[in-house]
A and B are shown apart, each in its own frame.
Chain A
């Protein structure tokens, strides 16, 4: 039996895998991308924001040709309780000109397909409808992949695992820590169709401008997670995502959480007339920085979600980290190829490149975010609720003298907040939340 051989095999046509394939193909490397869906993007999902700094380097002015939905000029971070919303709202004309703050909404089924076409045009091979079922090993060195096809072994100098958050191959090969309820979020989202004119009117936008709203606190019942609404061209994405451990702890179903969020009095008016055209779900990795593996071994590198490269803080970036890791893996391969050394030592520059970049600097900074929130639940539950109540009551008009209101609210905060605990928490929060 003869096996096919490529210089690089990439498992998974998502943003990280395609970014690697595009970079390698441009350097005239023989690269094969193996995708289990009908086409690149068929099974790919995200909340909805494409952070595009790396993309703009790979494909300059991608927004002119690529199927992005809207550029985000308005960001809002809101906390909810049962009846109220308090929000920080940022809208800037600076985000309205290229490169548009590197922040776009997109729909992955369309976008990834286009992005994969760029890699194909550069010379990458992409094979669809093919599931990689295992890695081929020679000692402790990965030498290829075993696919579900007959005669389906493919050998390679280097395998790049870009298999996504459900990191079955990486985990089975011991290349990453096991997935667990405390390092995985489950997110569900719906796409609601709405005409562009309605979206622009409702969200105060013009032309291709877009809005991105994140909701915390009571929006997800005080769990570690958030809810969101993002505007696409002629639809909006509405979803929730929480740590799986929190769903288990509170015996909450993700779809029930989504339905409650959609019914909130501050949310429901934004959804009026929206017809659900898709329901989708994915896991999101929130592997703490300290728990990340080396992310490479002999003949193999991990990129994107399976490597755990998501910023778990309020920034919640993933797409840009995914693409950056794909590019770094490609560059590490090119360096290894010069010496024909694809051993772990030969590929070690992958991790060095990550470590020297904003990717690992950000992940290192937010290394404790998820842990901190799990053990300081006041930040996702009590404090947001208290903040809303204080602000709501402060602006409640009932002919009480303002001095009395102030006194009452100060007393309320004193009663409900353990002062020294808060001081200590805020000291720690500087490196976990902001």
Chain B
């Protein structure tokens, strides 16, 4: 089928994080493969895992000052644990987690 060039002259639309994550097939395990030491998190002045995680897995519970871990959104790069050792990251159980279509 011939393509219509006009379709490809429109600006690229950047997706929200939720839309981006929806593009990656993920099989959810029952248990989190990420554990945050909440006391150490509270003492981190930057609370760095909130912004350094490329999938926004970590959210601040503003009331409690604790870190919510949405491990189902994890794209398995391991950056959180390298950035802050108060995060413990393990490989999800075999067959769980992300499957990239393109990679």
Write the residues of chain A forming the contact surface with B, with a CB cutoff of 8 angstroms.
36-38, 41-46, 107-112, 128-131, 133, 147-149, 165-166, 168, 179-181, 184, 186, 188, 190-192, 194-195, 197-198, 235, 244, 247-248, 251-255, 259, 262-263, 268, 271-283
Contact = CB atoms under 8 A, between A and B. Distances in A.
Judged by DSSP, the binding face of A is mixed
A36 B94 CA distance: 5
Contacts, number: 171
A262 B75 CA distance: 21
B60 interface: no
A344 B16 CA distance: 50
Interface of B: 3, 5, 7-15, 17, 19-21, 23-24, 46, 48, 51-52, 54-56, 75-79, 81-83, 89-95, 97-103
B60 to A, nearest CB: 14
A145 to B, nearest CB: 12
20 contacts: A37-B97, A43-B76, A44-B103, A112-B103, A130-B94, A131-B93, A165-B78, A179-B81, A186-B77, A194-B8, A198-B3, A198-B8, A253-B54, A255-B17, A268-B11, A272-B8, A274-B12, A279-B23, A280-B24, A283-B82
Nearest to A39: B99
B79 A38 contact: no
Contact of B24 (A194, A195, A262, A278): A278
Nearest to A168: B91
A109 B78 contact: no
A216 to B, nearest CB: 20
B91 A36 contact: yes
B94 A131 contact: yes
Given A281-B77, A283-B82, A43 B12 contact: no
Contacts of A133: 91
Nearest to B77: A281
B82 A43 contact: no
Given A235-B102, A255-B17, A186 B8 contact: no
Contact of A281 (B13, B19, B79): B79
A278 B54 contact: no
A283 B78 contact: yes
A280 B102 CA distance: 9
A17 B10 CA distance: 42
A253 B51 contact: yes
A282 B94 CA distance: 18
Nearest to A202: B8
Contacts of A111: 103
Given A42-B99, A186-B54, A272-B8, A282 B93 contact: no
Nearest to A188: B54
Given A45-B100, A107-B103, 8 more contacts: A43-B99, A109-B102, A184-B79, A194-B8, A248-B46, A251-B46, A263-B14, A273-B7
A271 B92 CA distance: 34
B52 A244 contact: yes
B100 A109 contact: yes
Contacts of A197: 3
Contacts of B94: 36, 128-131, 147-149
Nearest to A41: B103
